[in-house]
Every structure is written in C-alpha cells, then in structure tokens.
Amino acid sequence: MKKTYFLFSFLLCLTYSIYSQNNNLIIYSQQGYKFTVILNGVAQNKAAETNVKITGLNAPNYQVKVIFANKSILDIDQNIYFNFGGEFTANTEYSYCVKEKSGKYKLGYVSAAPIPASEPKNPEQTIVIYQPYASPVTTTTTQTTVTSTNENAMMNVNMPGVNINVNTGMPSSTTTTTYLSTTTTSAENNHPAHHDEDDYVLEGYNGKYGCRHPMNASDFESAKKSIASKSFDDSRLTIAKQIIGSNCMLCSQIKELMMIMSFEQTRLDLAKFAWHHNLDQGNYYKLNDAFTFEASIDELNKYTESH
C-alpha cells in the first residue's frame, strides 16, 4: 500500500513539474524589418521590433502570425512546434529568423538550446512574457463645464454734491465652455504582458507574471503576525484576504499564509483568492504541498485553469 501511494505521489509531482516547465521563443529579422508577433491570436509586443523574445511558453506548439510594419510585406502565418524527434522538450530557447524566398517570407528554424540561468541584456532585443489573453481597453471621457458671466459695467463717481452713475454700454452676457478629455487605460496596468526596467524579476523564474512588485519582507512578517494572532480560521482568513487583496504576493508568501490556517478548506479558499494577486503564477503548483487531500489539489487546479 505504501509503495502504491509513493508511486502515485511521484507521478503527481512529475506531472506538475512537466506542466510548470517553460520554453522561450526568439524571432528576429536580419534585414531589419520591424514586426509584431501574434501567438494564438494575441499580440505579444506593443510596438513593432526587429528582435522579440517571448518567455513563459508551456504548450507544445503555437500558431504564430508575424505582421510587418512595412505593409508591402505579406504577413507570415505558420505553426511552431517545441519538439525534437516528435517529443515535447521543455526549458529550451528556440530561435527563428525571418527568411525570404521568391518574394515570400517565412520563419526559418535557427537553433534550440537550454534556457540560460542568466545572460547579458541585449539592448537590441525586446523581451515579453507570454500573454494568452488580450488586454481589455477602457475609455473614459470626462466633461468639464466652465461658465463665466459679464454684467453691465457701472462706474460710480462721487464728488461733493455730485453723484454720477455711468453705464459703459456693455451688455450683460453668460459664456459656457465645455471641455472633453478622453483617457484610455488597459488591463495591462494590473496584469502586465511585459516587464519594464523597474519591475521585480524573480531569479530563476521564466513563467507568467501576474503582478509587478511583491510585498516586501518586513511588511509580510508583520502581516503574518497579525493573522496568526487570531484564534479562529474565519478571522485569520478575513485578515489574510484583506492583506492579499491590496498587495502583490509571491507563491512562497501565499504558502506561508496558508500554513497558518488550521483547516484544509480554509487553505483552499485562501489559495483561490490569492490566485488573482500572485506574481509568479507559473509556480502555483508549489502550493499543493500545503494540502493533505488530493481533492483539494484537483479543485485548486480546476479553479486556476478556469480563471
């Protein structure tokens, strides 16, 4: 019985490990043509570039569309597979080059190599984290009305024995001016598809980022003490949600908060809520160690897949 349980646990861990592995895709143009990369129907780089690296790709293949800034060049449409000899390979960086033949362009395979642990930054290369969903855009129009009134100008002259009222002859008038300003915002502000220079980068992590900056260590320790000071799980969960709801959290931090909870269901509720405030979403499988029952792992997995 123990051997069977051990084998099942090993296979489960292996499964989660496989699905957590990611690939990188580099597309570049030696001719200097600028382009936008579309993966599975979603644009990845904001502005057209000549060299784009996309990280956090964990599917065996992607439908790739390359749209050139030069409209005289026809788009490229083709599938790219991450495999050698028909088998899926993970933690690999694939490079493709824009090639031209008889006036037609396509992506030509160049190389595949293990993802380096660290590498010097290439100023000519734009790095983006895979964005599977298009960011909804919200447009807000603000109306400002300014009203000014000009009345008949009267001039009073008071002299000893003389009181003179002079009307300037200017008619009274009211002027109303309306100003309209439009602001466009994108969901990328909360769920970035790329990294700016001031964004937090988790060392050794190549997966999808759900938010930009995690809660700092000192604030997190204070939060843990506040949660642990409560006697019941209901109170602990309420405070934990208040803290998580206004912060960006690492998976390791979420797991620590889960372990403060006494009951399995409370830990599961916390893990579901924290999914929307998690920085390293590709590491979420690591929360499975906080559960005792396989059913909780399955329920959390279904939740993250559907959200």
Each residue's pLDDT tens digit, 112-164: 999 887 766 788 899 888 887 665 444 444 454 545 455 554 555 455 555 55
The CATH number linked to 92 is 2.60.40
User: What is the extent of the structural domain holding 162?
Assistant: 137-186
Mean pLDDT of 229-247: 93
The residue among 83 and 144 whose pLDDT is bigger is 83
174 in a structural domain: yes
Residues 121 and 142 in one domain: no
Residues 96 and 17 in one domain: yes
Q: State residue 182's pLDDT score.
A: 44
| Whole-number percent of the chain with pLDDT over 70 | 69
196 in a structural domain: no
SS3 content of the chain, % helix, strand, coil (to 5): 30, 35, 35
Give the residue from 89, 111, 107 showing the smallest Cα distance to 98.
Answer: 107
Name which of 69-83, 125-139, 191-205 the model is least confident about.
Answer: 191-205
DSSP 3-state of 252: helix
Q: State residue 35's pLDDT score.
A: 95
Q: State residue 170's pLDDT score.
A: 53
> How confident is residue 187, by pLDDT bands cut at 50, 70 and 90?
very low
198 in a structural domain: no
Backbone angles phi, psi at 29, to 5 degrees: -125, 115
Sequence letter at residue 70: N
Last residue of a domain, one of 151, 186, 221: 186
> How confident is residue 183, by pLDDT bands cut at 50, 70 and 90?
very low
11 in a structural domain: yes
Q: pLDDT tens for residues 13-24?
A: 444 444 446 889
Residues 214 and 168 in one domain: no
Q: pLDDT tens for residues 245-299?
A: 889 999 999 999 999 999 999 999 999 999 999 999 999 999 999 999 999 999 9
How many other CB atoms sit within 10 Å of the CB of residue 148? Answer: 9
> How confident is residue 179, by pLDDT bands cut at 50, 70 and 90?
very low
Domain count for the chain: 3
Mean pLDDT over the full length of the chain: 79
How far is the CA of 50 from the CAs of 33, 100, 193, in angstroms? 6, 15, 18
195 in a structural domain: no
205 in a structural domain: no
Q: State residue 53's pLDDT score.
A: 94
203 in a structural domain: no
Contact of 95 with 112, CB cutoff 8 Å: yes
204 in a structural domain: no
